[in-house]
C-alpha cells in the first residue's frame, strides 16, 4: 500500500495512510453525471469483456497451459498488450496528448510494499485455482457460468477481510 516517504526511515517502520487512495483512480476534474458520463465505460468494458472471452482469457484451461508453460498464447497476449500499453503511454507523454475534455493526463505512481510480494503470491495461487483474474471472473459469469457468482462473492469477501485487517498485515 501507499507508504509515507517521510516515515520510511523511522524505526517504527512504514506508516499506512488511511483512507488509502484508490489504485485505479479516476483523476478527471470535470463533473461527471452518474449515467451520462459513465455509459462510455460500460461500452469500453463490453469491448474488454468480448476480447477476454474471444481470446479465451477466461478459460481455466488456458491458465493451466500458461502455468505449465505448454502454450505461448497467454504470454503473447500479455506481452503484446504491455508493448502496446508502453508505446501509447510514451506517445501520450511525448506529444502531451490531452483527454477529450482537454485535461492533462495524470499518471499514478506506485510505491513498493511487501503486499505486492505476499498478496501477489496469494493472488497467483487463487488465479491458478479459479482460472481467472478479477476481470475474467465477471466475463465467466456473463458467458453463462453462473456458479462463478459464488467465486465473485468470495472475492468480495476476501477484499473485505483484507480491508478489515490490513493495518495488522506487513506492508
Query: C-beta of 38: minimal distance to other proteins in Å?
Result: 4
Name the residue nearer to other proteins (CB basis): 11 or 161: 161
Contact status, residue 139 vs residue 50, Cβ threshold 8 Å: no
Q: C-beta of 31: minimal distance to other proteins in Å?
A: 11
- Minimum distance of other proteins from residue 7's CB (angstroms): 17
Q: Which is nearer to other proteins, 11 or 31 (CB)?
A: 31
Give the C-alpha separation, 130 to 59, whole Å.
Answer: 10
- d(C-alpha 90, C-alpha 171), whole Å: 30
Of 4 and 105, CB closest to other proteins: 105
Q: CB-based contacts of 142: which residues, under 8 Å, 6+ apart?
A: 49, 53
- Determine the Cα–Cα distance for residues 61 and 46; give it in Å rounded to an integer: 23
Amino acid at each position: 500500500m501507499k507508504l509515507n516517504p517521510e516515515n520510511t526511515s523511522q524505526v517504527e517502520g512504514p506508516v499506512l495512510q488511511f483512507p488509502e487512495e484508490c489504485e485505479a483512480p479516476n483523476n478527471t476534474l470535470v463533473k461527471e453525471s452518474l449515467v451520462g458520463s459513465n455509459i462510455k465505460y460500460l461500452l469500453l468494458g463490453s469491448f474488454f469483456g468480448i476480447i477476454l472471452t474471444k481470446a479465451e482469457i477466461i478459460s481455466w484451461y488456458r491458465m493451466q497451459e500458461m502455468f505449465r508453460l505448454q502454450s505461448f498464447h497467454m504470454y503473447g497476449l500479455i506481452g503484446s498488450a504491455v508493448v502496446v500499453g508502453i508505446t501509447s503511454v510514451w506517445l501520450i507523454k511525448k506529444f502531451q496528448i490531452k483527454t477529450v475534455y482537454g485535461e492533462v493526463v495524470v499518471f499514478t505512481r506506485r510505491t513498493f510494499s511487501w503486499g505486492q510480494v505476499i498478496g501477489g503470491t496469494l493472488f497467483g495461487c487463487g488465479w491458478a485455482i479459479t482460472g481467472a483474474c478479477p476481470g475474467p471472473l465477471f466475463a465467466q459469469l456473463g458467458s453463462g457460468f453462473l456458479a462463478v457468482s459464488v467465486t465473485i462473492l468470495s472475492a468480495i469477501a476476501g477484499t473485505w477481510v483484507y480491508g478489515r485487517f490490513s493495518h495488522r498485515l506487513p506492508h
